[in-house]
């Protein structure tokens, strides 16, 4: 198979596999396959182990690294950014030589291999409100929402849970923005955290659902408020259903009907 023929056969899954291999596994298919065969945490790739094996076999047949044949310059830069983040985390651990502080607790939360991350979340929570700015940075980080980066995209889920336990009022708006990520798991984690924060989150959401002009933010706030078992929410929803501008937004009306019917 010539380079041109392989390049023609390559697809987006091949590209995703190669970027993850180079970012997380030092460019080694063997290390990558061992990791996924052991069913470790990893990234949620659209690929099966068989697809990774097939790609590894094709590289072996070519007797050269196929990444340069498929990945663009921008792809390579992104992989380099991932490696740099790993290097920064490693440098932090080496600098502290086993000592623990809030920075290492946050780093542990990001790179944990535990799918529940219970120990790491508890460690971060132990720092109380000192941890809140760090946790907000995690849920606001586009890189940490990207499964190519350290943490495979799970860190914002863990950070949201910790912020809920800490009842971090400063995190209300960032958590609301996390709802806009159009990801079910992030949305679920953000709503759970907002409900856990309680009254400050409710008041923020009520301001959003009543804001004008009406757009997607109102709908998002209404959907989140449906998880609050609260008489004030029901009252506001009933009032909004009388608003002529609100009546023009079908999705918003549906959420308001569900919420005020409880």
pLDDT at 5 over 70: no
Instruction: Please report whether residue 102 resides in a domain.
Output: yes
Domain boundary (44, 71, 98) is at 71
Quick check: is 49 in a domain?
Answer: yes
Same domain, 7 and 67: yes
Same domain membership, residue 142 and residue 125: yes
Single pTM value for the model = 0.88
Quick check: helix, strand or coil at residue 236? helix
Report how far residue 71's alpha carbon sits from residue 82's, in angstroms, rounded to the nearest whole number.
15
Q: Which of 17, 36, 71 is the last residue of a domain?
A: 71
Judge whether 105 and 124 are in contact, CB under 8 Å: yes
Give every CB contact of residue 237 below 8 A, 6+ residues apart in sequence.
Answer: 222, 225, 256, 259, 260
Q: Mind listing the pLDDT tens digit for each residue in 99-156?
A: 889 999 999 999 998 889 999 999 999 999 999 999 999 999 999 999 899 999 999 9
Same domain, yes or no: 120 and 159: yes
- State the pLDDT at residue 47: 64
Q: Report the C-alpha gap between 198 and 186 in whole angstroms.
A: 18
For residue range 46-93, list pLDDT tens digits in order. Answer: 567 888 998 999 899 889 999 998 899 999 999 999 999 999 999 988
Of the residues 16, 37, 71, the one at which a domain ends: 71
pLDDT of 8 > 50? The answer is: no
In a domain, 60, yes or no: yes
**pLDDT tens digit sequence for 222-237:** 999 999 989 999 999 9
Where in the sequence is the domain holding 83, given as residue range(s)?
76-169
Report, as an integer, the average pLDDT of 166-181.
Answer: 95
């Amino acid at each position: 198979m010539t380079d041109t023929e392989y390049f023609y056969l390559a697809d987006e899954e091949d590209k995703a596999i190669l970027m993850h291999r180079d970012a997380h596994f030092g460019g080694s298919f063997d290390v990558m396959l061992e990791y996924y065969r052991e069913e470790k945490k990893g990234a949620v790739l659209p690929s099966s182990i068989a697809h990774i094996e097939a790609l590894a076999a094709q590289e072996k047949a070519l007797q050269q690294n196929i990444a340069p044949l498929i990945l663009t310059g921008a792809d390579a830069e992104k992989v380099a950014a991932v490696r740099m983040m790993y290097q920064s985390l490693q440098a932090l651990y080496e600098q502290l030589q086993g000592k623990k502080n809030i920075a290492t607790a946050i780093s542990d939360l990001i790179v944990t291999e535990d799918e529940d991350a219970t120990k790491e979340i508890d460690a971060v929570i132990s720092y109380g409100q000192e941890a809140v700015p760090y946790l907000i940075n995690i849920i606001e980080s586009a890189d940490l929402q990207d499964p190519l980066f350290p943490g495979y995209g799970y860190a914002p889920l863990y950070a949201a849970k910790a912020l809920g336990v800490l009842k971090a009022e400063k995190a209300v708006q960032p958590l609301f923005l996390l709802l806009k990520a159009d990801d079910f798991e992030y949305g679920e984690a953000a709503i759970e955290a907002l409900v856990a924060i309680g009254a400050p989150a409710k008041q923020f959401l009520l301001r959003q659902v009543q804001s004008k002009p009406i757009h997607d933010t109102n709908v998002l706030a209404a959907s989140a408020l449906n998880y609050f078992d609260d008489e004030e929410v029901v009252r506001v929803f009933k009032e909004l259903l009388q608003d002529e501008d609100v009546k023009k937004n079908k999705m918003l009306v549906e959420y308001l009907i569900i919420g005020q019917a409880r």
